[in-house]
Amino acid sequence: MPGADIDGLRSRLAYDTPFFARHCLWIVNKERKLQRLDPLPWQARTPETPAHMTPLDEALERQRTNGRPMRVIVLKARKLGTSTWIQAKAMQRVTQLPYQSALTVCHRADATVDLADMAGLMYDRLPTDHMLAEMVYGEGTTNTAPFTVRPALLAQGTSRNGIRFMELGSKHRKSDKSVYRTMTAGAKGGGRAATPSIVHASEYAHYEDPDYGVGLFNALPLEPETIGVIESTANGFNHFFKLWDLATRRAEDPDTGAVWEPVFYGWQDNPRNSLPFISTHARARFEATVGDEDGGGDDEEVLLAEAYGATLEQLNWRRAIINGPEGGGSVEWFHQEHPTTPEQAFVGSGRPVFPGILVARAIREATEQPAPVEGVLRGLEWAERKTRAGTVDVPGLALWVPGDQITEADQDRWGGSHRLRVWQHPMNERTLSGLAPDQRRPDGQYVVFVDVAQGAGGTDEGDYSAIQVLDHVTRRQVCSYRSRVPIHDLPLLVYLVALYYNEAWLAVEVTGLGIGVLDALAKDYRYRMLYRRHRAGDDERADARERLLGWNTDLRTKPLMEQTFGQALREGTHGLRCVQTAREANTYVIDPKNPAKHGAQAGAHDDLLMAYMGAHRVAAEYRPRDPKKRRERWHPADDVSGY
């Protein structure tokens, strides 16, 4: 630093946290020894930071550079030093800038004491003026320091409600002071009474009162140069999960108006999570048991090595933690405390039906797909048809309506905020018109599966009705829809989707309220390409039309759905393009009280996943139609009843 520009140096010390940490901050490491605060790869970018990782400091500074309030939510494995870096940033601001107010809120009193002690050590070990002069002018200089990086400690103590504080600044201009405070979530007054410029919410998922965090961040102005960081391990599907979910969708926090940037750090990102073997023989013996449950391993070990390049030493550490006193042999506990993926972290109870690593790969592949177009379908060429109860208007064609052309009538039909999400429109004479003959392809063939809302689900809001469309030949997802439209409006929406996708095979889940939707489609709309399920003896039945209409999810068919989809996940032929559908696979779990029962984790949904698994199963049971073979039109014997 000798010969440095003084103004540039002051600015860098005030805003460049990696620079300030390396030259001015000390911490006590895990060996209980003092060391310089050199950033770890996930704290700030270093040569060891993987290309896929966004370090915490980089996420904050990118927002600052763009003139936005700095807001980051961190989902993490344990013992990564995230809190340490946020404390460094807070101490940098309160020691190098006037009028700052930094507030750290912890979930437990002992954690509050630990972070307060860390901040106190950082302040105590700041360079003296003589040390700073040598940093600026060179070792052995007789020059005085051009400024100070260690402001005076104007006041220090613990308030009546347990808030620990330091007031820092010049003894000659106390009005310019900055304040650093630490407190425990639940303490009165500290979070709401002041106007902080920096808020660090530590282990936010473990706050007993979720509204406490709302008040905390409402006190933080939504202005540039303010910093808000929420960091936590997961704790089920609580208030932290809801905020994380908003962040991953880049949606605005309804309570504060902030848009949080999500960052995730898994256990495999920490090179310290590695346990060496005592001998080459022990290493070879361990290697022989990787993926072998009888040998102490599990099938996730193989996937970790393949998908994340986990070393044998890392897998050895993982196995030791799971089988140690903390883990107690629980892989589910390890997933929550030391997750490999964000989705895995939130599975707090119940073992996932599908391997988390396979689901993580599917989520990543779905994320890499082009964004879908959104819109609805509008019926054309309507015809009045007699029914058992009167008449019904039935469309002859389905017209795609992009999102920016949707009318009020379309919104009433499809739901105010719900749209079809389309990755691929149907291939047919209309969509392929204008192409040269050598560029044309046969008409597409599709499978539509409908999971009808049962009125209750994994969350307080209840189930959704979900529609999934699968390309029958490629087994790729082409369309997805989910909403809570009234049950009596659903048959027409389903009919339009199946009609639009070249009169697709249509399977409606008939359990519960689904029987009414299927009944309307079969007897009022008279849709002819309906899925028919087998009964005992159906293999010998000559007339396939005697089979029962609709898909029935029961103890016999649900394992078939799961097996078909699980095999597609393993082979990479799942065809998922919808991230939301893929994420539901991570929270689709085995009920700990009833291993035969599978469904959504409490607080989550499985509607999109059930419809998608159903589409895959129907596609496996039915062969794609011969595009050259004309289909025989079937007409009911009774034009009124539909039978």
pLDDT tens digits, one per residue of 317-328: 999 999 998 888
Is residue 32 within 8 A of residue 83, CB to CB? The reply is no
CA 66 distance to own-chain centroid: 25
Report the pLDDT averaged over residues 541-565.
82
pLDDT of 406 higher than 60: yes
Is residue 262 within 8 A of residue 360, CB to CB? The reply is no
Taking Cα atoms as reference points, which of 476, 473, 472, 580 lies closest to residue 529? 472
Task: Write b or e for each residue in 212-231: b if 16 or more Cβ atoms lie within 10 A of its Cβ, otherwise e.
Answer: bbbebbebbebeeebbbbbb
Average pLDDT, the chain: 87
Q: How many whole angstroms separate alpha carbon 360 and alpha carbon 494? A: 30
Report the pLDDT averaged over residues 153-169.
91
> Quick one: pLDDT at residue 535?
60
Sign of CA dihedral 557, 562, 565, 570: negative
Is residue 234 within 8 A of residue 345, CB to CB? The reply is yes
pLDDT digits (tens, 9 = 90+) for 11-57: 999 999 999 999 999 999 888 899 999 999 999 999 988 888 899 99
> Quick one: pLDDT at residue 61?
95
Q: How many whole angstroms separate alpha carbon 624 and alpha carbon 613? A: 18
Is residue 335 within 8 A of residue 347, CB to CB? The reply is yes
> What's the predicted TM-score (pTM) here?
0.74
Assign domain 444-621 to a CATH class: alpha beta
Alpha helices in 163-311 (DSSP H): 210-218, 239-248, 280-289, 299-308
Taking Cα atoms as reference points, which of 553, 604, 580, 255 lies closest to residue 418? 580
Q: How many whole angstroms separate alpha carbon 319 and alpha carbon 316? A: 5
Q: With the CA atoms of 233, 236, 238 and 244 taken in that order, what torsion angle do they form, in degrees rounded to the nearest 10? A: 50
CATH label, 6-265, candidates 3.40.50.300, 3.40.50.280, 3.40.190.10, 3.30.930.10: 3.40.50.300
Q: How many whole angstroms separate alpha carbon 59 and alpha carbon 588? A: 31
Give residue 609's pLDDT band: very low, low, confident or very high (50, 70, 90): very high
> Quick one: pLDDT at residue 157?
92
CA 395 distance to own-chain centroid: 39
Q: What is the DSSP string of 4-45?
A: --HHHHHHHHHH-HHHHHHHH-EEE-TTS-EEE-PPPTTTS-
CA 139 distance to own-chain centroid: 51
> Quick one: pLDDT at residue 455?
56
Is residue 274 within 8 A of residue 314, CB to CB? The reply is yes
pLDDT digits (tens, 9 = 90+) for 456-494: 444 446 689 999 999 999 999 999 999 999 999 999 999
> Quick one: pLDDT at residue 456?
47
Q: How many whole angstroms separate alpha carbon 129 and alpha carbon 132? A: 5
Cβ neighbourhood burial of 385 (10 Å; 0-12, 13-18, 19+): middle
The domains of the chain are located at: 6-265, 269-348, 444-621
Taking Cα atoms as reference points, which of 365, 290, 285, 386 lies closest to residue 576? 365
pLDDT of 4 higher than 70: no
> Quick one: pLDDT at residue 629?
60
At which residue do the structure tokens 């969509």 appear?
431
Q: How many whole angstroms separate alpha carbon 484 and alpha carbon 453? A: 8
Give residue 191's pLDDT band: very low, low, confident or very high (50, 70, 90): low
Q: How many whole angstroms separate alpha carbon 48 and alpha carbon 171? A: 43
Largest CA distance in the chain: 107
Cβ neighbourhood burial of 481 (10 Å; 0-12, 13-18, 19+): buried
Is residue 448 within 8 A of residue 613, CB to CB? The reply is no
Report the pLDDT averaged over residues 419-428.
93
Give residue 279's pLDDT band: very low, low, confident or very high (50, 70, 90): very high
Retrieve residue 352's tokens.
Answer: 């996932």
DSSP SS3 for 88: helix
> Quick one: pLDDT at residue 330?
83
Residue 320 neighbours by CB under 8 Å, 6+ apart: 275
In DSSP terms, which residues pair with 400 in a beta bridge? Answer: 377
* Amino acid present at 81: G
Retrieve residue 290's tokens.
Answer: 């990787």
pLDDT of 187 higher than 80: no
